[in-house]
Amino acid sequence: MDRRLHGRGPLFDTDPPGLASRLVGLRPYQLRSGPYEHAVDVPFVVFTGGRGLGKSALLGEVRAAYQGHTPIALVDGEEPQFAVAPPERPVAAWSPVAQALTTIAEQLAEPVKGARRIGFPRLASGLLAVAAGGWSDRDMPRMRQEAERILLLNDSRSFLDGFAGRWATKVVAKLVSTMSHTGPVVEGIIEATLESFSEGVSPTHRRLRRAVGWYRDYPNAGGNPKLGLILLSGHFRADGDSRAHAERHLVRALLADLDEAYASVMQRSHRLGRPVVLLDNVHAPAGRAVMEYVLRDRADGIRDQVVFFAALRGRTLPGGGTFPALPNAARRSLTEVTRATGWEPGTSPSSRALLVSLPPLTPDDTLHLMGAACRGLTMPPQLPHATHRLTGGSPLGITLLAASARQNLPRGAGSLGALLTGDVAVHEDHTGRPAYRELLDRLVPGGRLDELTVLAAAHDRASALALAEARLPDDFGAAGVLGLEERLAEEGWPTTAGQFVGDPFLRALLLLRLHHLGTDHAEWQATHRALIDHYGERDGADAARYRLHHELALGTADFAVAHLRDTFPDADVGDWLSALLFIASAPYFHAHDPEGRDVTERDHRTAIALGRTDAAHPVPEGVDAVLHLRVRRLLHAVWQLTDPLVLPDPQVAERLRFELEQLSNLRPGGTALLWRASRDWPAHATAGRPLHVPQDDQDGSR
């Protein structure tokens, strides 16, 4: 199988069968059935993860794997059609759930190999009763359009034979005839619908009559289907809990129609596998409500055989509510469900869900993606590992950087910074724009990008508040800072000590945007100066390293060199190495032209790290010149090798090894740590791995 997704084998594998095969009972991309892992109760699978981890791509691949083989539907809860009612549609007769159910049924009705179309008479009857609550004799064109769309869900025949369209037109004409008077039309529409369904003796009409009879069990209907539909329509118009009650029955109607399509022996012999419903962005109102209703019904013993795969950003549902975090759901990583889920349902609704966290891609996945995108091009050998280090394995980041490499390597781009600032066209019919802007539009939608760009330079809430006061509008303030902090958490971005924006990839993109806000880089400079002032008012080693970090970001290395030189003889070696790593993690950017392109290919850090500027560098009076120059070379070596936007220089890595070795001779008590760093850091840097302070060989405390 030529899979388009990397690192998602536990879902799509066929031998041994992956999660999709075991739940759907059908091998992906194949008309070959297999055994079910959960033959009676099916878990509601929710893929979790932050933005950029490929949840939408995963659901899209599931649809591609099963489309045409088993009924399948995909809806995105954040699509505009589920956000607000159409301008001409009364809100009392529309909801995101009703819109989603219509869309889902239309997709599930599409024919598959070896089986006829699925009709949805129960759902169509309920949706028609709901829609009728917003009709009047002044809305004939809209009423005809809405009624025909709903009625076409009824028939299991192919639309190509023309019967379904003619039948729907005939029923619509009968419905219109009931609207020759003013006043409520719901009861008349429902009565005309029931009459139309009762006409004829064909199997289709018998099925329609049986489906309408399903509403005789609606609460307080007293066995009367007509009254059940009238009550359903009234509850929907009442909004609040009453609407939720009606929506839950509409979801149940959809599942009951699917159950009937698979009920008979004849149908089962023609249908392979289970039907599949894919809910992207399930935290949005439409998907969230559908998920809640399905979980509640399953917990109440109302079984169905539909496989639900959903995508949830992060692990929480924003705003709390009935299922703020699906507290009783089983939690697994994708690799943990490779052979079996180990899932058993409990008594609570949320226990019927199975949360599966998506991992980032591996370095090998990145290598394969970059290689496939750049086939036929000369690619720097370190580019795939550097790409993985920058993105942290983000599928979105790797895919878009691979596209940028394919388009910009032939134009001379030689670093990740150049690939991010280079134009990339993600669609053939669109013009290109800088890759970092394309990424940020997808990773930080919904506004407040300008504010988050500035706050990306902060390290905690206190420094973010200081930045907001110094650089952001007065109406943003503390509430804005707390709001962005909460939003980052809700959307699944990790938290990291010492950084307001915890994800290194997102932070790198935001800082790159900060640098490009103006051709004079004034906002960049002002932001870092504000943080220098903030930490300058505080005492202690932590405040000093933060201040020096931002001095270095402005290109001033002398203060950092002096601090590291003067503290080396007496500081704890582990703390000193930690300070070196943090200070040297300062962002670095070349000079840029007015268009934002690099104007120099030289990185001055390399020349300093290799000692080429030692002779021209004035050493302060009264200090150990050898130590001073060694610390200066070491700082610039670490700064270059840990920069996520450049490719690590092997010569600089070798010089880093040498400088750390020499320093180990000056600190007998810290020789082991410095020696271990001299071995680990160059190897990790050239392999695209982050640098860490080694463990203490004597007591294992680090």
Q: Is residue 421 domain-shared with residue 547, that is, in the same domain?
A: no
pLDDT in tens, 524-542: 999 999 999 999 988 888 8
Please give the backbone phi and psi of residue 73, each rounded to the nearest 5 degrees, phi first. Answer: -140, 145
159 pLDDT higher than 50: no
Comparing 143-147, 256-260, 497-501, which segment has the lowest mean pLDDT? 143-147
User: Which residues face 314 on adjacent strands?
Assistant: 49
Residue 483 belongs to some domain of the structure: no
Peptide bond into 16 cis (omega under 30): yes
Residue-level pLDDT at 603? 80
Q: Is residue 320 part of a domain?
A: no
Total structural domains within the chain:
2
Q: Name which of 288-297, 309-318, 345-354 the model is least confident about.
A: 309-318
Domain boundary among 411, 426, 441: 441
Segment 378-385 mean pLDDT: 92
CA–CA dist 338, 13 (Å, integer): 9
Same domain assignment for residues 683 and 546: yes
Which domain does 589 fall in, by range?
539-687
Q: Which residues lie closer than 8 Å to 584 by C-beta, 6 or more apart?
A: 552, 560, 635, 638, 639, 642
* Non-local CB neighbours of 556 within 8 Å, separated by 6+ positions: none
Q: Kindly report, residue by residue over 73-122, the tens digit of the pLDDT.
A: 999 999 999 999 988 888 999 999 999 999 999 999 988 887 888 989 99
Q: Exposed, middle or buried, 226 (CB in 10 Å: 0-12/13-18/19+)?
A: middle
Q: Do residue 435 and residue 544 come from a single domain?
A: no
Please tell me the predicted confidence (pLDDT) of residue 697: 47
Q: Pick from 385, 417, 441: which residue ends a domain?
A: 441
Question: 624: burial class by Cβ within 10 Å (0-12, 13-18, 19+)?
Answer: middle
Of the pLDDT bands very low, low, confident and very high (cuts 50, 70, 90), residue 698 is: very low
Q: Is residue 581 situated within a structural domain? A: yes
**Residue 575 falls inside a structural domain:** yes
Distance CA 470, CA 492 (A): 28
Who's near 522: CB < 8 A, 6+ residues apart?
A: none
pLDDT tens, 325-372?
688 999 999 999 999 999 999 999 999 999 999 999 999 999 999 999
Contact present, 631 and 562 (Cβ < 8 Å): no
**The last residue of a domain, from among 374, 407, 441:** 441
Q: Are residues 559 and 671 in the same domain?
A: yes
